[in-house]
Amino acid sequence: MFDNARILNVVIVVFAAIGLIAVLGAVGMAVLHVSIMHGLRSCSEAMRLWR
């Protein structure tokens, strides 16, 4: 029984780590995407005004 509980704890820790990495990756990609879109929008406006 102790071995099964230890295996279960290891599985829970592994899934928790994967979930944390996935959430941090999604948040990082969202922030990067928003910053890139704002950068492209300001760049396109500057190019339009420059023409």
**DSSP state letters, 1-51:** -HHHHHHHHHHHHHHHHHHHHHHHHHHHHHHHHHHHHHHHHHHHHHHHHH-
Residue 32 lies in a domain: yes
pLDDT at 46: 65
Q: The domain containing residue 42 runs over which residues? A: 20-51
Residue 3 lies in a domain: no
Residue 26 lies in a domain: yes
Pick the more confident residue, 51 or 27: 27
Residue 6 lies in a domain: no
Residue 10 lies in a domain: no
How many domains is the chain built from? 1
Residue 51 lies in a domain: yes
Pick the more confident residue, 2 or 9: 9
> What digits encode the pLDDT tens for the residues 15-37?
999 999 999 999 988 888 877 77
pLDDT band at 51 (very low <50, low <70, confident <90, very high): low
